[in-house]
Amino acid sequence: MKRLQQDPQDKPRNILPDCIIPAIALVFTIYYLTTITEVPWISQASAVVVSGLLLLAIIAFVIRSAWRIGKHRETLHLQGTFQDLLGFMPTSARRIGLLLLAVAYVWFIESLGFTVTTFIFVFAAIVLLSSLANWKRALIISLACSVIGYIVFVYFFKTRFPMGPIEVWLKGVL
Amino acid sequence: MRKQDRRNFLKLSAAGLAVMGMPSLGFSAGFPERTMRVFIPTRAGGGADRNFRNFGGVWKNYLGVDLEPSFYPGAAGRVGYETYMGKAAEDCHDLIFGNMGPEVLNWVVKKPSFALDDYFYFMMVDADPGCVFISDKSPMKTLDDVVAEGKKRTLTVATSRLAHPASLGMLVLANKTGMKVNLIPLSGGKNTRNGVLTGEVDLGVLPLTTAMRRKGIKILGLFDEQNLVSQHTPGAVLINPEYKLGIPPLAAGARAFGIKTAAAEKHPDRFDKLRQTGEKVFSDPAYKEAVTKGKGSWELIAPGGVEACRKYVDNITTLGKEYRSLLTG
Amino acid sequence: MSLDFGVFLDLFVDTLGYWWIIIPGTVLGILVGAIPGFSAANTIIILLPLTLAMEPATGMIFMVALYTASRLGAGIPAILVNIPGTAGAAATPLDGYPMAIAGRGQQALAISFTASVGAGLITTVAALILIPWLSQVAFHLHSVEMIVVMLFGISLIATISAEDSIKGLIAGFFGLMIGYIGADVVYEAPRGTFGFLELYDKVPLIPALVGLFAISEAFVVIERNTILSEQGAVKQQQAGWGPTFEGIRDTLLHWKEVVWTSLLGLVIGVIPGAGAAIASFVAYQQSRMMSKTPEKYGTGHVPGLIAPESANNGVTSGTLIPLLIIGVPGGATAAIMAVVLEYHGVNFGPDLFESQPMIAYGSFTAMLITYMLLGLLILPLTRYFSRVMVVPTVYMAPILIAFTLVGSFVPRAYVFDMGVAIIFGIIGYIARRTGYHVAAILIGVILGPLLENYFLRALRISQGDLGVLFSSKLGNLLWILLLLSLLAPVLRNYLARRKAGKAGDRGARDEPGA
């Protein structure tokens, strides 16, 4: 969503979170340029032009930020950056938890197969976001997700999802 | 069907059988015990897909199980091969089906992560000669016109990709005749045809089946020594003898099944069953029907065994190395 | 190829006889359109064994119905949960999603559907009339002209980031750099692939799309109870049929917008290699540029939703024309249709309209019928689909993530792509939290490689001479139009300020920044 807007009259806005995207872009661009040193010029042309433009935009951003910091409209400090980025507890913990679950989902889908992994992920994520008190509903929803997912993707559309024990068993049964 | 190749195929198969001492089917009775997985290093819906559907649709009757294609397009086939070599089981249930020419030329440009003899092709399905074509709106009407024009100015030549047997053919032709060409890789047969049809480039080179019998396209010549489909290519010349190229017939589309060397070595009986059953497909009328129903030409179906495949791969590799600098820029 | 009305009517009635295949095609189309990752092209490939077994005309009508409906289906998740189901719907959430958050999801769906159906009907009829001329477009748009067309789309980066242009440009250029990952089209030299073979063929589009939009969104919305804003939730609760009719009315009031953006889509659809994504970006950009209230775009503005939806439906009929007449498919789905028709030995060309009218004209009449059918579905679909919005985020976010990760897997069947979606989800999340426009990144990722393809091709043809960019008459005309469309807002701003300055003397300043 829209970033957390702060009142301009309020204390100066911390600019550090805003530097993350330019930093990622810069690091990536430098890496990219190192990979094209050996290729023919025609394959370098577009990237060189765009990386130049990107660099200009980042320089403009740095100059503007420096100017604003000088005017005390913005500041640069680590404190509060985490909250700016992830929100306050418990939302921040939930966001990190959800990300870890998503990574685990992708990590385990290869070995456990589509159906089981989807079930565990949806169940765990709902419990993470609400609470264990909600477990019955979480169970129903995650069960529905994996069953419908199986029917639609694996059975009907024959999508080549990684086969886990359940899929192998179901394939035998059906 | 190409006669020579068929003879060669039968001879080689027979030789193979003799060496193996007629392996009884009993050894491989339980094979295949699951669906065969066929890795295809190009996009679904492309030429290899079509060829595979035709062949696999009949082959499954002899194998007794389905052949399930999985498509791994990307990096001019590199992704498919790397995936196959990385993932395929060594039990003869996993095969690769690709277009040998352009895919082997990849290795000339840049070696893959696996050793080249970790896999080999064992069953060639077709030999689709490279061809030169123009739009029927082009002011040039014959290959001689093209050569003459190419001596006056640099001609733009659409091709599927640089590292492709059809591109090589064009380079050899330019080299022999002194015409100047500028190869424009347009990624894939469809785009190559479009480039020529819409007049963006002067002419194009492609495997014949990808170009012939299409509206607005005229085939000028084939990089071959015989024209098996002259009914579809009126006026097309045989470039190799006509312009004395001094190269073997350049099949630009030579689709073949390949297998991991380790799999064939571990299970010679299974590998043999694959070869024997595959061979039967070529004489099955259902296969002929499937091929002729589409835009394919039965005449270009060219069965070939391990040796024919190896010979083809060697030819292309040698030629590719010769023109390597032009392929890699 | 000219078609008189009597023949048309006969064909129309004949096509109605295929209702038994049009209805399942339509329903399936809406479904696969709404599932991210399942484009019409993918589905048709999956269903090849089925379509190949049908009679060519039946198969074609089925594919057309599916394709048509999928376009409309893709707008549903784009509006309601900020997930464009396909790249063609990537511009739809720009104004659709803000409407949905504000509790106007049902109305937004109605607008999108009405615009889609209206655009579809208009362009299908236009296509039938204009076939002889439209089929020639492909002959005139070569790499050079396509470079300019792409730049039209890319200039949207500047437009949508008007709020903070430096950040917008950083996002856009970053997106372009990401788009340049992969082997180049000429020498196939791998660039910036981090050593992953899976990235040789560029960054996969669907994972980037769902990552930037949907997964980042899922991380964001968990701080709210539902996707809806507080006022939105109240509004949604009270909704009956009203918002649907309101949406239909809104669209009809903007009928001019529907007409010209759909025709724009039609023309872009005719160009091989352009497609729905570029059409909707260009339409959105042009619509905003011509608007009297450009500042409202991106906040849930009706024309901002109509433009991309009309344009991408215009593409649908456009893409078939070059296929049927010159055998050059206008897009990916048309290319698959070509495979099916070729399998049946159908020969493309003007004579196809004589020899097999049920395939040639039938494709368009089937499209008309599908759109009519979709028109009937507007009422129930909008009302019940928009209920999705009240699902609490504690359920919504996990389902969204699972669903979209699955969608990222589908097109190429690489688990790797699910990882790509998560990476883009993280980038998208940071971008949203820190005021960078994710759509600007996405435009770069989608159009960057296309632009580069045409650029490299043009350079290769000219043997490195940059002068080729200004070598064609049509190209130069397009350059001028591009320049004008970029300068127009500046110019109008200036004029408005002068006018406001004069009016300001009299003490009236009603339209700031217009």
- Element housing C20 (H / E): helix C19-34
Q: In A, which residues are within 8 Å of C393 by CB distance?
A: 129
Q: How far, in Å, are A54, B149, C190, C216 from residue C274 at the CA level?
A: 25, 32, 24, 28
Q: Report the interhelical angle of C105-134 vs C255-270 (nearest 10°).
A: 50
- Measured between CA atoms, the residue of chain B closest to residue C182 is B75
Residue at C479 is within a domain: no
A36 dihedral zone (left: phi>0; alpha: psi -120 to 50; beta): alpha
- Measured between CA atoms, the residue of chain B closest to residue C341 is B294
Query: What's the gap in Å between the CA of A39 and the closest CA on chain B?
Result: 8
Q: In C, which residues are within 8 Å of B199 by CB distance?
A: 139, 142
Which spans in B110-233 are helix H? Answer: 143-152, 165-177, 189-197, 208-211
Structure token digits, residue B224 = 């071959």
Which residues on neighbouring strands pair with residue B207, listed in sequence order? B130
Where along chain B do its domains lie? 3-127+254-328, 129-242
8 Å CB contact between B303 and B161: no
CB contact under 8 A, B198 and C328: yes
Q: In B, which residues are within 8 Å of A39 by CB distance?
A: 329
CB contact under 8 A, C201 and B74: yes
pLDDT at C19 over 70: yes
Nearby residues of C74 by Cβ (< 8 Å), 6 or more positions away: C33, C34, C84, C85, C86, C88, C89, C92, C312
B188 dihedral zone (left: phi>0; alpha: psi -120 to 50; beta): left
Please write the tens of the pLDDT for every residue from C439-465.
889 888 888 888 898 898 998 899 888
CB contact under 8 A, A160 and B329: no
When computed from its CA atoms, the radius of gyration of chain B, rounded to whole angstroms, is: 20
From B70, B328, B329, residue closest to A160, measured CB to CB? B70
Pairwise CA distance, residues B269 & B21, whole Å: 11
CA angle C393, C391, A150 (to 5 degrees): 90
Query: What's the gap in Å between the CA of B324 and the closest CA on chain A?
Result: 14
Position C164 scores a pLDDT of: 81
Please write the tens of the pLDDT for every residue from C287-341.
988 888 888 888 899 999 999 999 999 998 888 887 787 666 767 788 778 777 8
From B70, B78, B293, residue closest to C200, measured CB to CB? B78
Which residues does chain A have with pLDDT short of 70? 1-10, 157-158, 174
Q: Torsion over CA of C277, C282, C287 and C288, rounded to 10 degrees?
A: 100
The neighbours of chain B, by the rule of 3 or more Cβ pairs under 8 Å, are A, C
The reply to whether C405 touches chain A by the CB within 8 Å rule is yes
Instruction: Fill in the DSSP letter of residue B39.
Output: E
- More reliable by pLDDT, B222 or C507: B222
Where along chain A do its domains lie? 13-85, 87-173
Structure token digits, residue C282 = 């260009």
* Cα dihedral B72, C201, B160, B252 sign: negative
Q: Torsion over CA of B304, B310, B313 and B314, rounded to 10 degrees?
A: -140
Which residues on neighbouring strands pair with residue B135, listed in sequence order? B217
CB contact under 8 A, B182 and C190: no
- Measured between CA atoms, the residue of chain A closest to residue C450 is A46
Q: Which of A106-110, C92-96, C352-356 has the lowest mean pLDDT?
A: C352-356
Q: How far, in Å, are B102, B286, C392, C449 from residue C148 at the CA level?
A: 33, 50, 45, 14
Residue at C484 is within a domain: no
8 Å CB contact between B81 and B48: no
Structure token digits, residue C229 = 């804003």
Position B178 scores a pLDDT of: 93
Which residues on neighbouring strands pair with residue A14, listed in sequence order? A75
From A61, A118, A162, residue closest to C166, measured CB to CB? A61
The reply to whether B324 touches chain C by the CB within 8 Å rule is no
Give the mean pLDDT of C416-437. 92
Pairwise CA distance, residues B198 & C461, whole Å: 14
Position A108 scores a pLDDT of: 92
CB contact under 8 A, C329 and B190: yes
Which residues on neighbouring strands pair with residue B304, listed in sequence order? B124
Q: Which residues of A touch B (CB under 8 A)?
A: 39-40, 42-43, 160
- Measured between CA atoms, the residue of chain B closest to residue C49 is B53
Q: How far, in Å, are B91, B137, B155, B157, C2 from residue B216 at the CA level?
A: 47, 8, 20, 17, 21
Q: Which domain holds residue C194?
A: 5-471
Q: In A, which residues are within 8 Å of B70 by CB distance?
A: 160
Position B251 scores a pLDDT of: 85
Residue at C376 is within a domain: yes
Residue type, C197: L
Nearest Cα residue to B141 out of B245, B221, B239: B221
Q: Torsion over CA of C269, C273, C278 and C280, rounded to 10 degrees?
A: 30
Instruction: Fill in the DSSP letter of residue A39.
Output: S
8 Å CB contact between C416 and C196: yes
Pairwise CA distance, residues C354 & C350, whole Å: 8
pLDDT at C361 over 90: no
Query: What's the gap in Å between the CA of B162 and the closest CA on chain A?
Result: 14
From C397, C402, C452, residue closest to A46, measured CB to CB? C452
Position B1 scores a pLDDT of: 59
Position A1 scores a pLDDT of: 39
8 Å CB contact between A1 and C434: no
From A20, A58, A126, residue closest to C430, measured CB to CB? A20
Please write the tens of the pLDDT for every residue from B214-234.
878 999 999 998 888 888 888
Position C413 scores a pLDDT of: 78
Query: What's the gap in Å between the CA of A69 and the closest CA on chain C?
Result: 17
Nearest Cα residue to B193 out of B147, B140, B131: B131
Window 305-344 of C: residues touching A by CB (8 A cutoff) are none
Residue at C343 is within a domain: yes
Which residues does chain B have with pLDDT short of 70? 1-29, 294-295, 329
Structure token digits, residue C17 = 């006889």
Strands B94-99 and B255-260: antiparallel
The reply to whether B154 touches chain C by the CB within 8 Å rule is yes
- Element housing C368 (H / E): helix C357-385
Strands B67-71 and B36-40: parallel
From C38, C46, C419, residue closest to A106, measured CB to CB? C419
Pairwise CA distance, residues C354 & C349, whole Å: 10
- Measured between CA atoms, the residue of chain B closest to residue C188 is B75
Pairwise CA distance, residues B145 & B149, whole Å: 6
CB contact under 8 A, C326 and B182: no
Q: In A, which residues are within 8 Å of B329 by CB distance?
A: 39-40, 42-43
The reply to whether C489 touches chain B by the CB within 8 Å rule is no
Query: What's the gap in Å between the CA of A46 and the closest CA on chain C?
Result: 6
Position C492 scores a pLDDT of: 74
Class of domain B3-127+254-328: alpha beta
CB contact under 8 A, A102 and C425: yes
Instruction: Fill in the DSSP letter of residue C508.
Output: -
Position A3 scores a pLDDT of: 44
- More reliable by pLDDT, C107 or B22: C107
Size of chain B in residues: 329
CB contact under 8 A, A39 and C184: yes
Structure token digits, residue B17 = 């059988």
Pairwise CA distance, residues B118 & B130, whole Å: 28
Pairwise CA distance, residues A71 & A64, whole Å: 11
CB contact under 8 A, A35 and C169: no
Tell me if residue C346 falls in helix, strand or coil: coil
CB contact under 8 A, B45 and C48: yes
Q: In B, which residues are within 8 Å of C185 by CB distance?
A: 185, 187
Pairwise CA distance, residues A111 & C505, whole Å: 74
Structure token digits, residue C370 = 């599908």
From C166, C174, C448, residue closest to A25, measured CB to CB? C174
Query: What's the gap in Å between the CA of C497 and the closest CA on chain A?
Result: 25
From B45, B156, B187, residue closest to C461, measured CB to CB? B156
Which residues on neighbouring strands pair with residue B120, listed in sequence order? B259
The answer to whether B3-127+254-328 and B129-242 have equal CATH topology is yes
- Our measurement of the distance from residue C4's CA atom to the centroid of its chain's CA atoms, rounded to an integer in Å, reads 32
Nearby residues of B237 by Cβ (< 8 Å), 6 or more positions away: B142, B143, B220, B221, B222
- Measured between CA atoms, the residue of chain C closest to residue A3 is C433
Give how many domains chain C has, as a whole number. Answer: 1
Position B14 scores a pLDDT of: 47
The reply to whether C139 touches chain B by the CB within 8 Å rule is yes
Position C242 scores a pLDDT of: 81
Position B329 scores a pLDDT of: 63
Structure token digits, residue C7 = 């023949």
The reply to whether C201 touches chain B by the CB within 8 Å rule is yes
From A109, A126, A162, residue closest to C395, measured CB to CB? A126
Give the distance between the most distant pair of CA atoms in chain C.
75
Position A102 scores a pLDDT of: 95
Residue at C288 is within a domain: yes
What is the residue-wise DSSP string for B79-103?
HHHHHHHHH--SSSSEEEEEEHHHH
What is B129-242's CATH topology? D-Maltodextrin-Binding Protein; domain 2 (3.40.190)
* Cα dihedral C208, C214, C217, C218 sign: negative
CB contact under 8 A, A103 and C422: yes
Window 77-106 of A: residues touching C by CB (8 A cutoff) are 84-85, 87, 91, 94-95, 98-99, 102-103, 105-106
8 Å CB contact between C222 and A98: yes
Residue type, C483: L
- Element housing B185 (H / E): strand B181-185
Q: How far, in Å, are B59, C153, C289, C448 from residue C312 at the CA level?
A: 42, 13, 18, 19
pLDDT at C198 over 60: yes
- More reliable by pLDDT, A121 or C218: A121
Please give the model's pTM, rounded to 2 decimal places. Answer: 0.81
Interface-testing mutation among C180, C403, C465, with chain A (most A C-beta atoms within 10 A) = C180
Residue type, C263: L
8 Å CB contact between B76 and B17: no
CB contact under 8 A, B329 and A40: yes
